[in-house]
Each structure stands twice: as C-alpha cells, then as structure tokens.
Amino acid sequence: MENGHFKHGLEEEDKIISSKRIKFSSGENRYRIPELELANGGRMPQVQFGTYKMKGDDCYQGVLSALRLGYRGLDTASVYSNEKECAKAILDSGVPRDQIFIQTKLWRSFMGKGKNGKPLCDAELRKSLRNLGTDYVDMWLMHWPGPGRHLNYPPVRMGMARPKQPIITNKDKMVPLDWSPAMRLETYANMCAHISSTGKVRAVGVCNFSLRQLKELLDFCKERRLPRPAVVQNECHPYLTAEPVRKYCQEQGIIFQAYASLGAGMVKLMEDQNIVQIADSYDVTPAQLLLRWGLQHNLALLPKSSKAARQKSNLEIFDFKLSQEDMKALDSLHQGEENQNTMVGWLREHDPDFY
C-alpha cells in the first residue's frame, strides 16, 4: 500500500485479480481485519465499529453483535452518551479487553481549564474511563476544533449553498466562553500529558480539523516536543473526497480515519445511480463498494449498523478489488467546495475557528 501503514490481515489481498471475487473455503476466516500501524508503534484495526447516534439497548445490542461477529475496534464519544452501553456489551461479549481497540472523544465543552486551574479534559477522561469500564483507551480524540454557536446551523438540510447567517445574539457565546485557537492547542497538550504505553491513554488524535488547523497543530507539536496526532478522523466519501487533508496525512505518516463513508441525511450516496451501477458490476452492495473505495484510498473506516446482517456485509469487503478506472469514476463524483471538510451533518464554514 502507498503509505506503508498496512499490516495485512489477509494474505489473499495480494492475490485479487481485476474485479473477480476470491472464493473462500468454509474453513477460512474472511473477517481477519487488516491492522494499521500507528506512529507510536501500536496497531489499530482498519475497520472499526462506529456507534454515532446509537443509544440505549440499540447500542448495547449493536456493539455486542459486532464484537461477536469479529469487529475488534469500537468508536464512541462522550457526547454520544453511549459509553456505558459500549462497556456492558464489551463485558458481555467475552472478548478480552486487550483484544479490543477502544477510542473515544473529548467534546469541545471541555477545552481549557476549570475554576480550580486544572485542565477540564482531565476529569472528562476519568469520566469516560469509568463509563467504558476500562483503565485505558487506545485512542483519545479531540472531537471538534472550534467554539460553536455562532451560525444558523448545524444541522442544515439545504447544502452548502445555504447562506451562512450569524446569530447576532450569539456573538459572544462560545463553548467554552473564553475559547481561542490557542486554547485548542493547549488542550491538545493537556491530552498528550496522559499518553503512556501503560497509562490511561495510548495515543491521541483529532477530528474535523481543516488542513490549516492540522498544519498549525503539527507546528505546535514540533515546538513543544509533543506527540503528533496518530489519527485524523474526518468525513470522507466520493462526494467529499477530502483530498488535501488525506494527502497531508499520508505525507506526515498520520492515519486518516473516515466517517460517514456511506453518507447520511441528505447525502444519499447509496442511491446514486453511478454508485449503484458500479456496485452491480462487482456483484456487491453500494455500501460494500463505498467501503472498498475507502480501503483502496488507505483509509481507516467506521461503518455502523444495529443489524447483524449489515454488520456482516460491511466486513465482506476484502475479497474484491476496484479497478483504477472505477476508482477514478468514484473520485469524480466529488461535489465539495475548495477546502470543504464536512457535508453530512455539521455544515459550516470550511475552517471552523468560528463555528
């Protein structure tokens, strides 16, 4: 693979020829998910189970089913309010903790310091660990880089063409109220203070960062001699290919982790006839095609579904390979504006120091 991150879980990957699917014998485990090597030497499943918007028993049953099926990575967040359900599913699955890669996220409300002068992220990490029923997380991600509340969205269902209308009454409202770009950097440094090969956090990363913000962060890491983010989790799919950030991550040895690979809301990728037709030519579903597109762009993936059949289908993506022609055809569906890096749910200006 291009960026050298890959540790193949399937030797058969190199045997795929053209668009023909591999036929596995009944005794073969076709769900041996490839692993990606992190900058700190750790390893992360390339395909993890996403839990965004999953709540209560739906989340518990979904995570339990995924773990029993063979998923060995879970993506959650404090703001998802489902960490406890993930913990119960992990316990009931019987899968040892050290065989599951767990990543959660720090919400923007917990940037900066509290009244006691201590970083707010410290207590939030302890809370996430309690909720998850674990002594450590494999990856701790900064969820959002900006302060929020200034614009008339999210969410918006009219696309990027909708006029950006500042909410005048929110002019001085931010989360936290004293937010600044410098606070984002200091919060990252505070998160890094917890990194240890045997401690509460094994690696850190960021989500939803623009290219400018990511470059600024890496400069800050160099200046302060901090670990660089191991992962950047941003939206990525054929309608929003995120090429500038993806390319920069590849150059810097950072894993790009895609969310919303199958679209969501008004971004109806799986109904796009171009995608449907290409999927039909490989005898796969549109979802499998979109996930395979992500694999061949060297992305880490976070498919989610509460239905066991779909969870299974989302792992059946290692026995076919898209041609260069079809990869280019899917790439050509890109609809994003220059430097746009969100589309499905958090539409805002492209560089969120304002939102």
Q: Which residues are catalytic?
A: 80
Q: How many helices (H) and strands (E) does the chain have?
A: 10, 11
Q: Does residue 190 contact residue 216 with C-beta atoms inside 8 Å?
A: no
The order of strands in the sheet holding 35-37 is 6-7, 35-37, 43-45
Task: Give the count of beta carbons closer than 10 Å to the beta carbon of residue 169.
Answer: 8
The distance from CA 164 to its chain's CA centroid, rounded to whole angstroms, is: 26
Return the bridge partners of 290, or none: none
Measure the CA–CA gap between 239 and 189, rounded to whole angstroms.
Answer: 34
Interatomic CA distance for residues 211 and 350, integer angstroms = 10
Burial class for 300, CB neighbours closer than 10 Å (0-12, 13-18, 19+) = buried
Q: Angle, nearest 10°, between helix axes 83-93 and 56-69?
A: 40
Is the distance from CB of 97 to CB of 107 less than 8 angstroms?
Answer: no
Number of CB atoms found within 10 A of residue 320's CB: 18
Report the alpha-carbon distance of residue 13 to residue 9 in Å, rounded. Answer: 9
